[in-house]
Chain A
């Protein structure tokens, strides 16, 4: 999904008590983190890192949602176990529909790619990155994208 495209809309069950979608980040930058599965080693390190870097994301007023094909109850247990305080969204039924809409579904194993999207406050994709599934893409790219957004905001 190239930058400049409107982020596909959705509403998914989440670890909060309500469905969440891109509209819930409207007015602020939104970081969408697609990951293959709760509990798998790389996902855990990646999401733990994002929890740790959260104060930096929040300096840009950004929200962060994690998304995988796991169900809501699995997400709740995972988030509790790993002290993750950002919402996890369940792309569970129909399975992977949102991942497909973002072009990051992996039909061969029924999960999603490890993919990052930064969506600007108007709901337009401003940056995206797909990492090899086994590689933790880190937080630097997200921070750069948020800084680019902030710079554009000033120029506007």
Chain B
């Protein structure tokens, strides 16, 4: 049996214009997460990423992309669109945090209350959700993940290479710090 092998690399490079980014653009290491707001494993990874950001400070750039698996998580697609609607009003990360901190409550009423809590223009938010204005963007994220070897969530990429080891704090931190050391040597760090 012939085995086809390929490296799992990020096929859509990180873009400061397109992507939701935390941390400096010239950080030596970029961590990309493909996540689903209703996925419990992503919920477990959420505080781990926060701790890593605190530890690594300016050494780390963090990027989040949507990978909603509606087949398993009926609220995931709408939640992702809500995050993108918040992004359209420059509040992506506030919404992102609300969603992961309230993973059990992702009905439309819940999404509205989070939009209210972070002081979005609610009329605009409602309109964009109802018209699925951001569905294409969410799907573009999803497909870029499929083509990069995202087979479930969460999936992380460190400087463009898929991280296949566990994503507990210690393992991720060791991998990121090793990549940061390499990244300081001038290797490309945007992926692809």
Binding site for B on A (CB under 8 A): 1-3, 45-46, 48-49, 51-53, 56, 82-84, 103-104, 115, 127-130, 136-141, 143
Contact = CB atoms under 8 A, between A and B. Distances in A.
Contacts of A49: 69, 146, 151-152
Nearest to A45: B152
Nearest to A50: B71
A102 to B, nearest CB: 9
A8 to B, nearest CB: 14
B147 A136 contact: no
The list of the 10 closest CB pairs from A to B, nearest first, reads: A138-B151, A136-B151, A51-B71, A45-B152, A83-B71, A48-B71, A130-B1, A48-B72, A52-B71, A139-B146
B2 A3 contact: yes
Contacts of A141: 4, 6
A138 B146 CA distance: 7
20 contacts: A48-B72, A49-B146, A49-B151, A52-B70, A53-B146, A83-B72, A103-B1, A115-B1, A130-B1, A130-B3, A136-B152, A137-B151, A138-B146, A138-B149, A138-B150, A139-B146, A139-B151, A140-B146, A140-B149, A141-B6
Interface string B161-188: 0000000000000000000000000000
Contacts, number: 54
Interface of B: 1-4, 6, 69-72, 142-143, 146-152
Nearest to B11: A140
Contacts of A138: 146, 149-151
A127 B6 CA distance: 14
The secondary-structure label for the interface of chain A is: mixed
Contacts of B149: 138, 140
A141 B149 CA distance: 9
Contacts of A51: 71
Contact of A56 (B69, B143, B148): B143
A128 B152 contact: no
A114 B143 CA distance: 23
B79 to A, nearest CB: 15
